Amino acid sequence: MNENVQSAIDWFTGAPLRIALILIVALILQKTSGRTITRAINKIAEADLIPGPNRSIERQRERARTAGSVLRSTSNATIWLITSTMVLGQFGLDLGPLVASAGVIGVALGLGAQTIVRDVLSGIFMLVEDQYGVGDEINILDVDGVVENVGLRITTVRDKKGTLWYLRNGEILKVGNKSKKKR
């Protein structure tokens, strides 16, 4: 074998092959974690977690789908963040300064995004505690109406006059749910 062919083989079996393997493993992990989360969420959605007459299977499914979406997004973000740093490392990039810069930027973003974090955390607790759901007639702040959409950050409520209100979950201090029956 001549030197050019040997150097091409050596180059290909170096960084490009390792990058390809990193990407293949990341894709496999993404697919596997997505399927695992979907299976677990489907089991939770169909389980009899709240026995008795007050059980709402549709609400349980909705909450499970929302939790599954959050878990899948978090899983994908983590996998691709680690993958991209590994690929950058294969290109010979010094990751020490990058990680230090990311830490400083993370602190700055954390301080600036406090309201978003508060909204999302409030949304998670609201979903876990099943305070209200789509179709419930509620009273939030000075808005009286029917819930049209429940998200992790924002809840939308249509009042009796037809106005659609967008309410940040972190700003909701008290909720009156007229749809919940006495147990």
Reported confidence tier of residue 139, pLDDT bands at 50, 70, 90: very high
Per-residue pLDDT at 33 exceeds 90? yes
Q: How many domains does the chain have?
A: 2
Judge whether residue 17 has pLDDT over 90. no
Query: From its phi and psi, is residue 49 left (phi > 0), alpha (psi between -120 and 50) or beta?
Result: alpha
Chosen domain end from 63, 85, 112? 112
CATH number at residue 150: 2.30.30.60
- pLDDT, residue 44, reads 80
Each residue's pLDDT tens digit, 54-113: 556 777 777 777 778 778 888 999 999 999 988 988 888 888 887 788 788 888 777 778
Considering the domain architecture, whether residues 104 and 32 belong to the same structural domain is answered as yes
Q: Are residues 64 and 19 in the same domain?
A: yes
pTM score over 0.75: no
Q: Say yes or no: 53 and 8 in one domain.
A: yes
